[in-house]
Amino acid sequence: MQAEGYDLKKLIKRVAEIMAMRYEDVIDSERDRKRIQARSILCFWATDQLGVSQTQLGQILNLTQPAISHAVRRGKTIAESKSYVIFDN
């Protein structure tokens, strides 16, 4: 993914696009279903595709490492069940 020019900022923008929300809404600390799902997808893709550490994500999203770990699992389930893809062909 990094070869395609993706970094964490671009990934956050992509998640916001997929979820039809603003960039700021993906990373803020508000808790509602849509934002939690967006952050979960972000955590999954960031760790799985970009190799971002869970600790780094925790600092960015103001979450603990165990919360990020849970979000990664939830994000994988959401992304797969809804057939979300990072690259928009």
- Domains of the chain plus CATH, in order, are 2-81 (1.10.1750.10)
Would the pLDDT of 8 be above 60? yes
Question: What is the predicted pLDDT for the residue at 53?
Answer: 95
On whether the CB atoms of residues 86 and 49 are closer than 8 A, the answer is: yes
The alpha-helical segments, DSSP class H, found in 1-89 are 8-19, 23-27, 33-45, 54-61, 65-81
44 closest CA partner among 21, 18, 24:
18
Question: What is the predicted pLDDT for the residue at 86?
Answer: 86
Residue 26: both structure tokens together = 């993906």
When pLDDT is averaged across residues 74-82 and rounded to a whole number, the result is 97
pLDDT (tens digit per residue) in 9-67: 999 999 999 999 999 999 998 999 999 999 999 999 999 999 999 999 999 999 999 99
Question: Could you tell me how many residues make up the chain?
Answer: 89
Residue 89's pLDDT band (cuts 50, 70, 90) = low
